[in-house]
Every structure is written in C-alpha cells, then in structure tokens.
Structure 1
Amino acid sequence: MHHGICNLSIVPLRIEPNNSSEMISQLLFGEYFKILEIRKQWSKIRIAHDNYEGWVDNKQYEEITREIFDKLENSTPILAAELIDFATDKEQNFITVPIGSSLPFYNNQNLTINTRIFQYEGSIISQKLPKELIIETAFKYLNAPYLWGGKTPFGIDCSGFTQMVYKLCGYKLLRDASQQASQGEVLSFIEESEPGDLAFFDNNEGIITHVGIIMPDNYIIHAYGKVRVDRLDHSGIFNINSHKHTHKLRVIKKII
C-alpha cells in the first residue's frame, strides 16, 4: 500500500475522481493518509485521523514511505494554533498554514515533509486541553462562512466545525454528523449536559444531518450559514434572528 501527505494549504477531497465532483471534506497542510487506489490523475485515499475516504488530485500531495507514515502514527500530534500563518522552506518559499493543520516532526520551530524542512514560528498545540476550553476554541471559528465539506475558518460545515474544535483540543471525532452521533454517551436531557457536549439534529426522515456544541445557559454554537450562536431547547435550535426553530433535536452526546 502507498501512503501520502498533504504538502499544500487546503486541498479538496472529492466524492468522485474529477474536479467538478462534490467536495466532501478537505485535507489540511500536514495531514497524512493511506492511498487505496491510484489512477492517472487521481488517488483514492483514507485519512489517518478519521478514516474518511475520498479522491484527491495527484498533483496536490506527496507520497511518503510506510516508515514515515508509521512514525507519524506513533508520534504525538502537533497542530498549528494560529488562525492563519505560514511555513517557510530554505529557499524562502512559503505555504499558508490554517489552524488545525498538522506539523509533522515538529521540533524547535522546524517541521519536515519528506526531505523538505520548513520553519513555522506560530503558536502550536501539543497536548490535550481540558473540556472547559472547547467553547473558547469553538469561538475561534465564529462567523466562518458555511461551506459543505469545509474544515477551516474560510469555510466550514457543521461536522467539520465540531471535528476541528475537538481535534484542536486533542480529541478525535469522526467526519460526518451521523458518524459523530455514534460516539460517546447518550444524555437524556439538556439539563444533564455540560458545555462542550454535542447536540445532534435529524431531518424529516430521521437521518442525523446537523451537529453543534452545547454552551452554558442553553445556547449552542454551530455552523448554519456561518458559525453562529443560537438558543437550544428541548425541541431543537431556536434561531435568534429569524425567531423560529431551524433544527429538530435528536440526541445529546457526551464525548469527553
């Protein structure tokens, strides 16, 4: 099996191997993966962090050896904590690095992708953060525009938002809302929840399609048009601008 790593800022992961296909997620700088299938212009990959699968353009990643992949798997993740910064190589070429990007083999402001060494001077996250910091981390994405498949402050979807917030705090969530709903412990009532727990919402067919992060005092932060704060009650999300319910509550889960 082949392995790869994202050597660019933000790369689309598509459901089919062509540029007009739906973007289902993104690769951020430093994210690494298994390559399941290689075609002339596209590769089907499985991201190491969440086992999510999709197609990526062959021009938008570098192959790495199994040895490097295994070392990354066994190393402590170090993530970029700045909303946006950049990494610079010895030739002074720079690549923008969005928050939540991985910094492979980071040491003393240097990181390495294959034989290429970059300098990154921004702040980093290298350990698990307490649950109390989940809301503070979530607010880094406030007003980020909604983007299906997005994972950055420049565009993010509801489950990408919860996944990235948890990732920055040192915890793994799966990629889609329906997948995330399979994790953690079910809570019976909103009153049992704590800030940082997840609330899930379903559509008329009973399929979970939305997720948000519970805040104190019956508020919720979620990606809907943009990352925003609304009210949460036993019926669901009450939009404070339109004065109506927009999402029907299905289940509340405690992940941490």
Structure 2
Amino acid sequence: MKKYWLIALVMLLSIAFGSTVHADDKEMYVDVSVATLWSEPDQARELDAPSLGNPVDMWGWTESMTVDEKRWLVGELQTQALYGQKVTVLEEEGDWVKVAVDGQPTPKNELGYPAWMPKKQLSDEKLYSVLKERRPFALVTAPTADLYDHRNKKKEFKEISFNTRLPVVAQTGEMILVATPSDGMKWMNSEDVSIYKDKEDIPAPDGEDLEETAKQFLGLPYLWAGASGFGFDCSGFTHTIHKAHGITIPRDSSVQAENGTPVAKEDLQKGDLLFFAYDEGEGSVHHVGMYIGNGEMIHAPNSASTVEVIDVFESDYYSSEFSGARRYID
C-alpha cells in the first residue's frame, strides 16, 4: 500500500511545482457526491437537510420524501452537479454561492447552468484542479459506485454517481486509485468505471449504446432537477446519458429541442430525443424522452413515477403532445 501512496505523492509534487495557480481564480469543485442546486439561497425545508451538508445523504433524502414533498421541489431546484465537477462562482450570499455548472450548456449563462448551492459543498484544492487537467480520468459507468479509504475495501468512504469523473493516479489489479477534491486519494473498483486519457477518447455511441446505458436506470424514482444516479428529471436523464458517452447536449428540454438534427417521425432511430409540448404539441416544450425503437420511449416522467419504457405513440397523452424529435449522434 505504501508504494502507491509514494508514487502518488511524487506525482502530485511534480505536477504541483510545474503548475501555476492564480489567486483570483473563481473556479471550484463539487466536494459532495451530488450537489443539488436551488433557484434561490435559503429556500430549503428542514427535510432537505440531508442534501445540504457535507457529506450528503442522497438516498436518505430522496427516499424519505412523499410524492407531494417531491412535487414541492418543482421550480425550487434547478439542476445537480457531481463530485469533482468544476463550477464557477458567480455570487456569494452568506453560506450560499451562486455557481455556473461546467458542462451543462444553457442560454442562461455561457459558463454553465447557474443556480445556488451551500458553500460548504465546494473545494478549491489546487492540486486536485491540476490533476483534473493533467491526468486520465475514471468515468463512473455503474448507476452508483463506492469509493474506499483502502485498497482492501474494508471502509467505504463515499457513494458517488454515474457519470462522475475523477483523475486517475494509479491502477493495480482490479482497483484504481483516484484523486478527490479535498480528501486525498481513494480506491474504487475498476469494474465500475471506464478510463480515458481525455474526453475526446470516449467512443462515439450508437443508439444501442444509449439504450443500454439508459436501461440501467429503469425503476429509479424521478427527482426534479435530478442529474445523477440517485434520481433524474426528464432532461437531466437525456443530458446525462449523452454526457456519459462523450456528447454534451443542453441541460433543459426546451433547449435540447432547439439543437441537434431535426428528425421526422417516420425516420426515428434509437437514441433520438422525443419532445412534448403544451397545446397539443404547438406550445412550449415541457418534456423529453429517448426513442429506443419499436414505438417505445424510455424517460423519467414525473415526481410520482420512476424511469420507465412506454409505447409512446399508443399513449393518448404523449401522442397528442408530441412536438418533434432531434438527433445528437451520428
């Protein structure tokens, strides 16, 4: 065990002394499994406490809420950011900060999706930021994965989400040593991740790949603003499935519906995104799902449901509100 820490220490020091960090940088990194971002600071209820600390208890939070308590979150939450993900601080107000989440495109801010989160859930560890830029990364491909304090896996450190990306420091056998935003290095199972030198090395997916990835989450309860393996909303689901395959699409369904390549209904293929709008498909877009062939769609419907597959054009509700489709894969 000691030799791996020695290798890691030497690597960290060599990178650190070869890097330059500016004191006025406002970039920081998410320091909890999943950061849940709010429309305004200090709007959370007492029952939301498990999502506000450091660490967070995502299962304890989501599984404790009734359907009505989940519905209350509609409009109060904006999005989520994953462990180790970069954000840019835009404002500070007491114990809260407004950040822009890197990698979540939106017309709201060119730096990323803007919303509020507790300041305690961020880290500005400079060595981590350098490792993030210089090292290959482990991309979590399991719905969730465990980090461990030791290679023997006797002590679990943290459960992290699908699509989390952490710098790889070393690999031995079936275990990988990764860097964390503020807690040094931790171990994880190689079977839970794929390792890439950079994001351009992620293989381009086809529709079958997107379908297989999406179906891992069948039965996962919906969470408004969710963008993690602990719960998704409709556009968080399609955004994250594409993101895990190296394709960055807008965060919100209304913007997803305006980008990509338009696809006629008769030309639908697996992986195409289907959009639904008010006023029998003529109004504003309110929902998105992913086509998986044979008239079926996989989607995260609403706060009372889970990720599911439906015969989309056999449904009176969805067929009447279908407003078009877009393709984001070649």
Normalised-by-shorter TM-score class: 0.7 to 0.9
Give the superposition deviation at 1:155: 2.0
1:14-73, Cα deviation, whole Å (9 max, x unpaired): 1111142812111221211111122320111111111111111011121244x8657646
Q: What are the Cα deviations for residues 115-138 of structure 1, in whole angstroms up to 9, with x where unaligned?
A: 611212242133234213000001
Q: Which residue of 82, 96, 103 corresponds with 2:159?
A: 96
Deviations 1:199-218 (CA, angstroms, capped at 9, x unpaired): 11111371111111011111
Q: What is the CA distance between 1:223 and its match in structure 2? A: 0.9
* Unmatched runs of 5 consecutive residues or more in structure 1: none
1:56 aligns with 2:125: no
Match of 2:19 in 1: none
| Shift in CA distance, 255/2, structure 1 to aligned 2, threshold 3 Å | same
CA radius of gyration, larger in:
2
RMSD: 2.4
Deviates more, 1:71-80 or 1:4-13: 71-80
Residue aligned with 1:159, SS: helix
* Secondary structure class of the residue paired with 1:103: strand
Q: Provide TM-score, normalisation by structure 1.
A: 0.86
Instruction: Specify which structure has the higher proportion of strand.
Output: 1
Identify which of 71, 83, 102 aligns with 1:29.
83
Aligned length: 246
Aligned with residue 140 of structure 2, among 73, 80, 86: 80
Q: Is the 8 A contact 1:44 1:53 kept in 2?
A: yes
* Cα displacement (A) at 1:75: 6.4
Moved more, 49-58 or 86-95: 86-95
Query: Is the deviation greater in 101-110 or in 218-227?
Result: 101-110
SS of residue in 2 equivalent to 1:226: coil
* SS across alignment from 2:165: coil
TM-score between the two structures when normalised by the length of structure 2? 0.68
CA, structure 1 residues 251+12, in 2 after alignment: closer, same or farther (shift >3 Å)?
same
Task: State the one-letter code of the partner of 2:323.
Answer: R
The reply to whether residue 44 of structure 1 matches residue 111 of structure 2 is no
Offset, 1:10 = 1.6
Amino acid aligned to 2:310: D
Distance change (3 Å), C-alpha of 1:148 and 1:114: closer
SS of alignment partner, residue 78 of structure 1 = strand
**Distance in 1, Cα, partners of 2:113 & 2:135:** 20
Instruction: Select 1:219's aligned residue among 286, 289, 296.
Output: 296
Gaps of 5+ in 2: 1-24, 45-72, 105-111, 197-201
Distance 1:200 1:46, change over 3 A: same
Q: Structure 2 CA distance, aligned partners of 1:161 and 1:148?
A: 11
Measure the CA separation in 1 of the matches of 2:294 and 2:212: 15
After superposition, where does 1:9-20 map in structure 2 within 5 Å? Answer: 9-20=33-44
Residues 86-235 of structure 1 mapped to structure 2, 5 A cutoff: 86-89=146-149, 94-105=157-168, 107-108=170-171, 109-114=176-181, 116-122=184-190, 123-125=192-194, 126=196, 127-131=202-206, 132-187=208-263, 189-204=264-279, 206-224=283-301, 225-233=305-313
Contact 2:259–2:326 (8 Å) recurs in 1 = yes
Cα 1:137–1:10 shift into 2, 3 Å: same
- When residues 46 and 71 of structure 1 are mapped into structure 2, their CA distance, relative to the original with a 3 A threshold, is farther
Q: 1:251 to 1:95 in 2, by over 3 A?
A: same
